[in-house]
């Protein structure tokens, strides 16, 4: 029996890991839509390889290249934000939401509104839209499967359990490549150093987020929506080896953890095969070779991002969307060589001191908060 699948963000790191798994079970999958920001030739090659119905680029200036690269294939080519949503709404049984940033929110919402299964990697969509997205999931009878490795771990540890019995959810964080750097060195970090993650091979934005610890801050908010046990029951522990992907402690003192290699194909496979299992080519865990697993409390003096995220989650309303938008702007400025690494969290903190709009109630509200916060953060950058 074949299943239909759409991959939003097919040319990225998560997209590539997903397609690698599909390639190994090619006959099981019917690909509906593949999307990218631009990368027209790469997207067209994937669409041809997987016989997609439609390929979509978000950036309309890339449409001519996409059309040319798809000529004679019979595969539809489209471009723009509306086309992304239209592709996401074609009703694939499973949609992998792997666009980076709040740019993925509207297409993810379009997939949710079809009521299918959404494997969510695009954490920024959930951070920004929070209750709006979760309400849509409930209203449309969609199933949200967490693809982020920590949340996938927690999802597995919660299987068959009652949330009311949970004492703690513990998110593990690698601490990123700069965990042990001095304050002086942190101030002079280059983009290349920040994206050189010791354990995971990921896109540039999430790699910087891992280095600042904002990735864990976003994941704290993501966890609060996916597993509503209360913010005070979610905590973060630094675990540099990235072997234990997260843990759930129950009120009887039992702690369940999910372990695995630091390869996103493991949590992606768990979503693709859910509620079953599938083979992956990932290396088995060799515990004696690993020897020691270590755990530390996070250092919020040097890496304030987790504090900022927790405060935004506690404030609720528009704050998480503002936090995310400011972070996207600051990370882009850092990657472009415009600001120092240590300014990223500072810009986010400063943006959050604005008088925030009221809690967004619809997708359009969230997108309005997002664009307003981007303008504030850009303004802070210009006047620094």
Which residues bind to ligand NAD, rule: CB under 6 A? 9-15, 36-37, 39, 58, 98-100, 103, 121-124, 148, 200, 202-203, 205-206, 264
Answer whether 206's CB lies under 8 Å from 99's CB: no
CA neighbor of 123 nearest in space, from 142, 143, 148, 88 = 148
Q: Between residues 129 and 153, which has the closer beta carbon with respect to Mg ion?
A: 153
Least distance in angstroms from the C-beta of 269 to ligand NAD: 14
How near is the Cβ of 358 to ligand NAD at its closest, in Å?
26
**Toward Mg ion, which CB reaches closer, 120 or 332?**
120
Distance, CA of 128 to CA of 325 (rounded, Å): 8
Please say which residue, 58 or 223, places its beta carbon nearer to Mg ion: 223
Residue nearer to ligand NAD on the CB measure, 64 or 188: 64
Rounded to whole angstroms, the Cα distance separating 60 from 81 reads 9
The site partner of 111 among ligand NAD, Mg ion, none (C-beta below 5 to 8 Å per kind) is: none
Q: Is 263 in the site for Mg ion (CB under 5 A)?
A: no
- Interatomic CA distance for residues 147 and 142, integer angstroms: 15
- In whole angstroms, how close is the CB of 60 to ligand NAD at the nearest point? 11
| Nearer residue to Mg ion within complex by CB, 148 or 249 | 148
The item of ligand NAD, Mg ion, none sharing an interface with residue 264, based on CB under 5 to 8 Å by kind, is ligand NAD
Q: Which does 200 bind (CB under 5 to 8 A by kind): ligand NAD, Mg ion, none?
A: ligand NAD
**Residues in region 145-164 near Mg ion by CB under 5 A:** 148-150
- Span of 15-23, 142-150, 296-304, 330-338 interacting with Mg ion by CB under 5 A: 142-150
Which residue's Cβ lies closest to ligand NAD?
A: 12
Please name the residue ranges forming H helices in the chain: 13-24, 40-50, 63-70, 81-88, 105-112, 123-139, 149-157, 183-187, 191-195, 204-212, 214-226, 265-273, 287-290, 305-315, 319-335, 343-351, 363-382
Least distance from Mg ion to the Cβ atom of residue 352, Å: 23
Read out DSSP for 322-360? HHHHHHHHHHHHHHTTSS-TTHHHHHHHHHTTSPPPPPP
Q: Which stretch binds Mg ion (CB under 5 A): 58-66, 140-148, 162-170, 181-189?
A: 140-148
**Residue 217 interface partner, choices Mg ion, ligand NAD, none, CB cut-off 5-8 Å depending on type:** none
- How many C-beta neighbours within 10 Å does residue 355 have? 4
C-beta closer to ligand NAD: residue 249 or 363:
363
Residues that bind Mg ion (CB under 5 A): 148-150
């Amino acid at each position: 029996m074949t299943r239909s699948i759409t991959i939003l963000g097919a040319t990225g790191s998560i997209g590539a890991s997903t397609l690698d798994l599909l390639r190994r079970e090619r006959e099981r999958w019917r690909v509906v839509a593949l999307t990218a920001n631009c990368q027209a030739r790469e997207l067209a090659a994937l669409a041809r390889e997987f016989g997609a119905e439609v390929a979509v680029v978000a950036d309309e200036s890339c449409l001519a290249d996409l059309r040319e690269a798809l000529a004679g294939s019979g595969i539809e080519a489209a471009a723009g934000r509306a086309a992304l949503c239209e592709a996401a709404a074609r009703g694939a049984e499973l949609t992998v939401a792997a666009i980076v940033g709040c740019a993925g929110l509207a297409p993810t919402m379009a997939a949710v509104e079809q009521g299918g299964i959404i494997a969510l990697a695009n954490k920024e969509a959930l951070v920004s839209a929070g209750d709006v997205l979760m309400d849509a999931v409930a209203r449309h009878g969609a199933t949200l499967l967490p693809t982020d490795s920590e949340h996938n771990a927690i999802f597995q540890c919660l299987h068959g359990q009652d949330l009311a019995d949970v004492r703690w959810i513990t998110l593990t964080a690698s601490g990123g490549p700069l965990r042990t750097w001095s304050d002086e060195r942190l101030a002079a970090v280059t983009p290349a150093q920040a994206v050189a993650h010791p354990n995971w091979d990921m896109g540039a934005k999430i790699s910087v987020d891992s280095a600042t610890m904002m990735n864990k801050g976003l994941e704290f908010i993501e966890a609060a929506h996916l597993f509503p046990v209360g913010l005070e029951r979610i905590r973060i522990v630094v675990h540099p080896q990235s072997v234990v992907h997260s843990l759930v402690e129950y009120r009887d003192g039992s702690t369940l953890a999910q372990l695995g290699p630091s390869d996103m194909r493991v949590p992606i496979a768990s979503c693709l095969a859910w509620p079953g299992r599938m083979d992956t080519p990932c290396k088995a865990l060799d515990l004696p070779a690993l020897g020691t697993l270590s755990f530390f409390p996070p250092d919020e003096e040097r890496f304030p991002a987790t504090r900022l995220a927790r405060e935004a989650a506690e404030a609720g309303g528009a704050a998480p969307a503002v936090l995310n938008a400011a972070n996207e702007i600051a990370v882009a400025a850092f990657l472009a060589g415009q600001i120092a690494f240590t300014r990223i969290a500072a810009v986010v903190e400063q943006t959050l001191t604005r008088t925030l709009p009221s809690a967004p109630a619809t997708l359009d509200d969230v997108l309005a908060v997002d664009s307003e916060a981007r303008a504030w953060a850009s303004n802070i950058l210009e006047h620094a």
